[in-house]
Amino acid sequence: MTESTPTAEFLRQGTNPVVEPAGLDDVLARRSVGTDTVAEAVAKPVAGTVDEATPVIRASVVHVPSSLLSVVAAERQRSGRSNGQILIDAIEAGHEHLVKLHNESNSIGGRLFTARTAKPQLPVAQPLSPLNIRLYEQDYEVLDRLVTELGAGSRSRLATLALAFYLDGPT
């Protein structure tokens, strides 16, 4: 006899169930409409419930200096914006500064080795703490492109440089 509870379904899925954009209740409701798997239920919205053009929001984590967390929290409290919205605003507002940091970075190699730009220097090395962000999927593509273009090395490094400049916080 096959058990059909959410827990049993989770166990059949393995350790990485695909239930990101919808809650378990939504998935189960969609399943009752005849969808075969949780992944299909999440990928195919039920007619009339979610517009197919609605952007998908995805959660991620960047690691920033611990001292920035309280500054971001204060900005979140002051402005009512999310961590992701603050990060996007920081990158947009500080884009020229980030480009300047990249252009002023030292170049390494060029004669014997392939030329490369050193990563922009972080203000001060500190222990890092996770900062949860939620952005549209296409925003992560923009972040990754900026990481490459600006030689930041990682999303976390880009976030640290942008937030420190934007919030003028201690880093």
The pLDDT tens digits for 106-162 are 777 778 888 776 666 665 568 899 999 999 999 999 999 999 998 888 999 999 999
pLDDT band at 16; cut points 50, 70, 90 = very low
In this structure, are residues 119 and 112 in contact, taking their beta carbons and an 8 Å threshold? no
User: In this structure, is residue 40 part of a structural domain?
Assistant: no
For residue 124, give the nearest of 168, 61, 65 by alpha carbon: 65
Which distant-in-sequence residues (6+ apart) come within 8 Å of 133 by Cβ?
59, 60, 61, 62, 82, 83, 84, 87, 159
User: In this structure, is residue 50 part of a structural domain?
Assistant: no
CA dihedral 140, 10, 63, 149 (to 10 degrees): -20
User: In this structure, is residue 10 part of a structural domain?
Assistant: no
User: In this structure, is residue 43 part of a structural domain?
Assistant: no
User: In this structure, is residue 69 part of a structural domain?
Assistant: yes
The number of domains in the chain is 1
Query: What values do phi and psi take at 132, rounded to 5?
Result: -75, 135
pLDDT in tens, 75-109: 999 999 999 999 999 999 999 999 988 877 777 77
From the CB of residue 107, how many other CB atoms can be counted at a distance below 10 Å? 9
Enter the pTM of the model.
Answer: 0.63
User: In this structure, is residue 102 part of a structural domain?
Assistant: yes
Q: Which domain holds residue 73?
A: 57-168
User: In this structure, is residue 139 part of a structural domain?
Assistant: yes
User: In this structure, is residue 4 part of a structural domain?
Assistant: no
**What is the pLDDT at residue 15?**
41
Query: What values do phi and psi take at 118, rounded to 5?
Result: -70, 150
